[in-house]
């Protein structure tokens, strides 16, 4: 574990930035004085419960609400037909190709349901219990339609899920890149390698995952005042406000959206949801405050899922292992509708398949496809974990093919620290990094050479428990995102962030931020930044967020953007405060502003002992009795920061696993990661982000998968079957850092929210494959359940298509809960993508 320096004195000369401040947020959270949305009760508030389709694909032939409407306590029952004229369509904001097919997505199904769990009606009652009771009384008749769950089958278009668009393929995006020194495009490079080099092909599978934030989504809409106020457990109050206004035709100025305490998100609350639409429409119609809180089962079933991608990689290399060309061909499962980001999520991976390596030519080829499953969207990392998994699995597999140590092969091909800034084959300029330093540190902490020796001994001895070592040297693009790049990618909005600073008469400070934390600790970290910048005490900074009336501008929290974009906006607003205050301080000191210096919270006349503190200047500004001519009586400032580029954290993760070859059980023996996220504002928070990220990435490797049966019912629809790991399932991690500051922002920061998740999944799978490769196993499908691993060791290939397993009757069951079901993904295998 990283030793964190504990400097807590508010006047410590080093300043606040870089200290392990305990979080301001904690007090209310550890004492139960929280403001979760579901905790809210408004006078006369009504409760909603949703009637959801049990079928994955069906026509609705009738909805009989009479019995429900007359049940005790029921105020109204609303069916799709009632909302058809006003509900519009849920928004998709990312047109990844000019001809992308974006079907209409009604919040409440009117005539057809396309995945199990879609809302078909809504009961409004005096209590949540009365509403749920009456849901049972709503009688819906369906005509079932053929169910498509397999993306390959969907691509045949034999059944079309959205007849109005005539195909199940939403978009086909191709991005081709080559460097000036390349012999040609990626096909030419591959052809050259076929003649005089190596061509190496692999397919990998990203199973469907569920974000599984701990707080189920909840929303309260109050239409009783001048404005329509919506409290929602969301990551994106600002985006939600704009899109509700645009989609439902409500004047934006009449909408106020508040994200109070929000219990985790991980991308899962980066969505504009049917439930929010329905709650707003019903509350507006009834003129009464309405609350809807989902059950966990509903959350798992209808909250968007993540990953769900088939990947085929073709690598061209020289005979000595120098990589030359890379082709990534993907098929991504969108589920039944395009979500908010839709095909944009896999598109974020387009820039990351090349990783930290130097390629001459690269092609990214993505097809996005509709199926009768829950919609997919961002889940921690969003496109980048998928890409990183593929390239890091590929490098380990290729190293084995070459007979090289996987670290040696990487070092041969990665960008060396002297080469920064480096423009990658995908066209991004990596500003800084030091892969050698992070790797050397990780290698030492891990005891790499000793573990390799032990591995060899166990192989030699034929130990039933084999040791494997997995490597992942990742990078990611963070700080989503430069607006001009988003524009070039046909994303509908910008990627800037906004901050404001209000200097109160007593010199205390309020910071407003457009980022919206839900566990990340912005209140603490932003306080540290402002304390240093303005020379005020950490305790005297109040950070306000998550309410469009208090923080009117923002782009919210996702994509490791909060510090890298939002934090820089805070810095720029603070610097404006200092500039304004300096003019007034100079006037108070009867000096020229040019002679006044600001440091440690005081304005001093250079070369004298004359000074004024920020608090003195604040009060003089408030009083406004004697200000310089033409200067307004306010120090308040704000800033909107649009990043010029992304930031590029990187790191080396090393994982040792033991695989019991008799049972197939995989257990992590040690996990070491050295991350380089640039400068650090709060090492305690950083370490927490890394721990949590690792847990989620490891969970993808070992435990989690959203599984449907052949009729499209989610069988992992509760925490009994969807295996979020517990404390007993995870090891302790050794985390450390190298610090190569970002050169593209004034704090030198890079972002840390997604690093652990992105890096860890391939490290774990690489380790497991490494443990059993000598037994003839060169691929393992996620999650690595004991049965799957055992089956692979036995030489039983795992079929790629769920349908084939149904036909052959072959069991892919694992002995854990949720067994005996059909995976949505399938095994990773050699050979082609069909």
**210 in helix, strand or coil?**
coil
One DSSP character per residue, 437-457 reads HHHHHHHHHHTHHHHHHHHHH
- Is 294 or 360 the residue whose CB approaches another protein more closely? 294
- Is 33 or 606 the residue whose CB approaches another protein more closely? 33
Least gap, CB of 743 to another protein (angstroms): 29
Q: Kindly give, in sequence order, each residue whose CB lies less than 8 Å from that of residue 203, ignoring residues fewer than 6 positions away.
A: 310, 311, 312, 313, 800, 828, 829, 830, 831, 832, 833
Least gap, CB of 361 to another protein (angstroms): 39
Query: How far out from the chain centre does Cα 371 lie?
Result: 22
Least gap, CB of 817 to another protein (angstroms): 10
CB atoms within 10 A of CB 815: 12
Q: Kindly give, in sequence order, each residue whose CB lies less than 8 Å from that of residue 579, ignoring residues fewer than 6 positions away.
A: none
- Is 1 or 624 the residue whose CB approaches another protein more closely? 1
- Is 2 or 97 the residue whose CB approaches another protein more closely? 2
Q: Kindly give, in sequence order, each residue whose CB lies less than 8 Å from that of residue 213, ignoring residues fewer than 6 positions away.
A: 263, 264, 265, 266, 268, 269, 518
User: Which structure tokens are listed for 413?
Assistant: 């091909």
- Is 333 or 687 the residue whose CB approaches another protein more closely? 687
Least gap, CB of 246 to another protein (angstroms): 29
Least gap, CB of 21 to another protein (angstroms): 10
Least gap, CB of 753 to another protein (angstroms): 11
- Rg of the Cα atoms in the chain: 28
Least gap, CB of 355 to another protein (angstroms): 24
Residues that bind another protein (CB under 8 A): 1, 22-23, 25-27, 29-34, 36, 38-39, 41, 127, 129, 212-216, 261-264, 266, 295-297, 518-521, 684-685, 687-689, 691-696, 718-720, 724, 726-728, 730, 732-733, 756
Instruction: Count the alpha carbons within 13 Å of 710 in the hemisphere toward its beta carbon.
Output: 9
What is the rounded distance in angstroms from the CA atom of residue 780 to the CA atom of residue 792?
A: 7
CB atoms within 10 A of CB 248: 18
State the alpha helices, DSSP H only, in 631-738.
Answer: 683-702
CB atoms within 10 A of CB 472: 31
What is the rounded distance in angstroms from the CA atom of residue 617 to the CA atom of residue 638?
A: 18
For the CA atoms of 584, 587, 588, 591, the dihedral, rounded to the nearest 10 degrees, stands at: 130
Dihedral of alpha carbons 280, 84, 708, 830, sign = negative
Least gap, CB of 34 to another protein (angstroms): 7
- Is 80 or 117 the residue whose CB approaches another protein more closely? 117
- Is 298 or 770 the residue whose CB approaches another protein more closely? 298
What are the backbone dihedrals phi and psi of residue 232, each rounded to the nearest 5 degrees, phi first? -145, 145
Dihedral of alpha carbons 435, 440, 446, 448, sign = positive
- Is 36 or 420 the residue whose CB approaches another protein more closely? 36
Least gap, CB of 31 to another protein (angstroms): 7
| Strands (DSSP E) found in 661-784 | 666-676, 734-737
Least gap, CB of 695 to another protein (angstroms): 4
- Is 365 or 736 the residue whose CB approaches another protein more closely? 736
- Is 38 or 222 the residue whose CB approaches another protein more closely? 38
């Amino acid at each position: 574990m990283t030793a964190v320096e504990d400097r807590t004195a508010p006047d410590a000369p080093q300043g606040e930035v870089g200290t392990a401040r305990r979080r301001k947020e904690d007090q209310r959270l550890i004492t139960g004085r929280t403001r979760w949305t579901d905790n809210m009760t408004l006078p006369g508030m009504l409760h909603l419960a949703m009637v959801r389709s049990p079928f994955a694909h069906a026509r609705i032939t009738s909805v009989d609400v009479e019995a429900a409407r007359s049940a005790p306590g029921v105020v109204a029952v609303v069916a799709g037909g009632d909302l058809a004229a006003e509900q519009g369509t849920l928004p998709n904001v990312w047109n990844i190709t000019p001809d992308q097919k974006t079907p209409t997505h009604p919040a409440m199904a009117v005539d057809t349901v396309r995945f199990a769990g879609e809302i078909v009606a809504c009961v409004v009652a005096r209590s949540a219990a009365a509403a749920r009771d009456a849901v049972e009384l709503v009688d819906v008749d369906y005509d079932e339609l053929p169910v498509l769950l397999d993306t390959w089958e969907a691509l045949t278009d034999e059944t079309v899920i959205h007849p109005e668009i005539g195909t199940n393929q939403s978009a086909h995006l191709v991005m081709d890149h080559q460097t000036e020194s390349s012999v040609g495009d990626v096909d030419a490079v591959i052809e050259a390698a076929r003649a005089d080099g190596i061509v190496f092909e692999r397919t990998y599978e990203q199973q469907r995952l569920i974000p599984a934030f701990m707080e189920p989504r909840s929303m309260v809409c109050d239409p009783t005042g001048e404005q329509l106020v919506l409290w929602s457990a969301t990551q994106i109050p600002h985006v939600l406000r704009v899109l509700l206004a645009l989609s439902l035709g409500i004047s934006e100025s009449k909408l106020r959206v508040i994200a109070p305490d929000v219990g985790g998100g991980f991308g899962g609350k980066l969505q504009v949801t049917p439930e929010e639409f329905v709650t707003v429409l019903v509350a507006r119609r009834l003129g009464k405050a309405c609350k809807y809180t989902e059950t966990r089962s509903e959350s798992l079933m209808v909250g968007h899922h993540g990953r769900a991608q088939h990947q085929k990689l073709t690598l061209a290399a020289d005979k000595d292992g120098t990589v030359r060309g890379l082709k990534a061909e993907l098929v991504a499962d969108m589920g039944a509708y395009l979500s908010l980001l839709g095909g944009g999520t896999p598109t974020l991976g387009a820039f990351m398949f090349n990783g930290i390596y130097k390629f001459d030519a690269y092609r990214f080829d993505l097809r996005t496809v509709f199926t009768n499953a829950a919609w997919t969207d961002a889940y921690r990392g969003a496109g980048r974990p998928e890409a990183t998994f593929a390239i890091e699995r590929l490098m380990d597999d290729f190293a084995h093919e070459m007979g090289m140590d996987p670290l040696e092969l990487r070092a041969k091909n990665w960008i060396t620290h002297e080469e920064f800034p480096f423009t990658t084959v995908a066209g991004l300029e990596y500003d800084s990094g030091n892969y050698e330093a992070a790797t050397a540190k990780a290698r030492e902490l891990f005891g790499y050479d000793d573990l390799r020796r032990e591995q060899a001994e166990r192989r030699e001895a034929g130990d039933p428990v084999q040791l494997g070592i997995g490597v992942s040297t990742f990078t990611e693009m963070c700080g989503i995102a430069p607006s001009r790049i988003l524009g070039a990618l046909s994303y509908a909005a910008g990627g800037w962030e906004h901050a404001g600073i209000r200097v109160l008469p007593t010199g205390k400070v309020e910071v407003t931020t457009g980022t919206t934390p839900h566990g990340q600790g912005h209140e603490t970290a932003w306080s540290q930044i402002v304390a240093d910048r303005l020379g005020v005490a950490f305790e005297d900074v109040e950070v306000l967020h998550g309410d469009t009336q208090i923080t009117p501008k923002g782009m919210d929290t996702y994509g490791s953007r909060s510090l890298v974009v939002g934090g820089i906006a805070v810095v720029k607003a603070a610097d404006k405060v200092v500039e304004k205050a300096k003019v007034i301080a100079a006037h108070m000191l009867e000096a020229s502003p040019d002679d006044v210096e600001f440091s440690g919270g005081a304005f001093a006349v250079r070369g004298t002992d004359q000074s004024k503190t920020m608090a003195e200047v604040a009060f003089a500004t408030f009083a406004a009795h004697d200000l310089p001519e033409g200067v307004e009586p306010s120090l308040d400032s704000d800033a909107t920061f649009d990043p010029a580029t992304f930031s590029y954290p990187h790191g080396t993760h090393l994982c040792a696993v033991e695989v019991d070859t008799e049972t197939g059980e995989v257990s992590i023996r040690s996990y070491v990661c050295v991350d380089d996220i640039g400068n650090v504002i709060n090492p305690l928070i950083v370490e927490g982000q890394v721990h949590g990220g690792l847990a989620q990435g490891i969970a993808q490797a070992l435990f989690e998968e959203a599984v449907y049966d052949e009729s499209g019912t989610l069988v992992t629809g509760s925490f009994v079957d969807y295996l979020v790991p517990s404390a007993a399932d995870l090891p302790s991690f050794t985390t450390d850092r190298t610090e190569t500051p970002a050169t593209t922002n004034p704090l030198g920061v890079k972002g840390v929210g997604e690093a652990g998740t992105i890096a860890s999944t391939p490290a774990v799978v690489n380790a497991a494959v490494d443990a059993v490769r000598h037994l003839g196993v060169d691929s393992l499908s996620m999650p690595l359940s004991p049965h799957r691993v055992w089956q692979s060791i036995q030489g039983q290939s795992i079929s790629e298509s769920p349908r084939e397993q149904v036909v052959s009757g072959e069991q892919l069951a694992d002995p854990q809960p949720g067994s005996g079901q059909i995976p949505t993904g399938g095994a990773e295998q050699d050979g082609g993508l069909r």
